[in-house]
Amino acid sequence: MRILYLAPFTSREDHLDSGVVGYGETSGNALVRELRLLGHAVRTVPTRPPATTKVGHAIQTYEELSTLDLKSFDALFMYNTHHQFAAEVRRLLYETGATGTLLTGYTHGSHWDPSDQIRHAYPMLKFADLGNVMAFDVVFLVSHYMLDVVSRTLTAELGPKVATEFAKRARVVGGTIDTDRLEAARTDKDEVPAIVFNHSPTAAKRPEVFFRRIPEVLDAHPDVTLTVTRKFYSDNPGFTELQQVIKHFPGRVTLGETMQTDAYFTRLWRSHLQVSTASHESFGVSTVEAIYAGCCAVLPTHGCYAEVTGDSGIYHRDEDMAERLNTYLSDPMATERTVRDQQRAIRRYYPSDVAARITAAIASP
């Protein structure tokens, strides 16, 4: 197939949107690579030097699309419909007579998921968000959790007809990680047990919950270290609690200050445990990356985590998180069993498998 890939906005600057500083580049590029390996002719826009803002990136994309023969492609594939708007791309397809070209792509979040606080920061785009999804011929979802929660919310607020239209377009293909780039960063584990907290400093990730409870673990295990990969500013959730952890455990906390991708991947390989406290998670790229790198992931029941990893590593109450960490740190065999279970669970999210599911969805819309 001839596929035109609409790349998401990415940046080397710090950003609350993890897709901008991380998975928009890694998993998106991995999918392009795998689609090409499957024999598809994949062209990417925008091709000019990347814009420094999301608005500039969207403008570049629309301008380049307007110069192309969109009828010459079998499908347009948008990685993130919050970085360009599918409705605008659909308008271009209509105006250029490219009505036979499929419009497909991911929505990585939704105003229609009540736990998605990033999307709720744009409240007047709630119906625009739905309009973008409905502008797709096929919309890719990263989890059945996302399909279920969006379908239920649409049914409750707008009725079954709208929910049915959404479900007709929806295909759960899963999210992915860049296994090649992770492998290039492979290194040995640290000699002392290392915990990594790799969430962005947002309310939906509840970092304050982690930083309030991690002292119990650091007190019980004096050799354990902690790496916080993302930069926390003074107005971010969890900043005050993190400062207290640094104060009480000098020399044992490493601040990554939003690590560059390859250094971040190396840090995952060196770590032993990864922890999430998120109240919202539609897939969990940072968790899947950590599991691939051999970390034992300790995860809440929220969102899609149980779908992604099964029961392995799941805790049910916030107060159980520290206890679960202490158990793993005291029992390396139990930790290794959990790592193996979780690694088996995430194999279906390798980029070759996800690219194959995307291909099937495009071929049979």
Averaged pLDDT, groups of 10, the chain, 365 residues long = 94 66 82 98 91 91 96 97 96 96 96 90 94 98 97 98 98 97 97 96 95 97 96 96 97 93 96 96 96 98 94 93 96 96 98 98 91
The predicted pLDDT at position 332 comes to 93
The predicted pLDDT at position 19 comes to 62
Phi, psi of 344 (to 5 degrees): -65, -40
Phi, psi of 174 (to 5 degrees): 90, 160
The predicted pLDDT at position 11 comes to 72
Round to whole Å and give the CA distance between 351 and 33.
9
The predicted pLDDT at position 12 comes to 66
The predicted pLDDT at position 23 comes to 67
The predicted pLDDT at position 51 comes to 85
The predicted pLDDT at position 14 comes to 66
Neighbouring-strand partners of residue 227: 196, 254
DSSP β-ladder status, 41-45 and 2-6: parallel
The predicted pLDDT at position 24 comes to 73
Q: Which of 249, 197, 188 is nearest to 223 (CA)?
A: 249
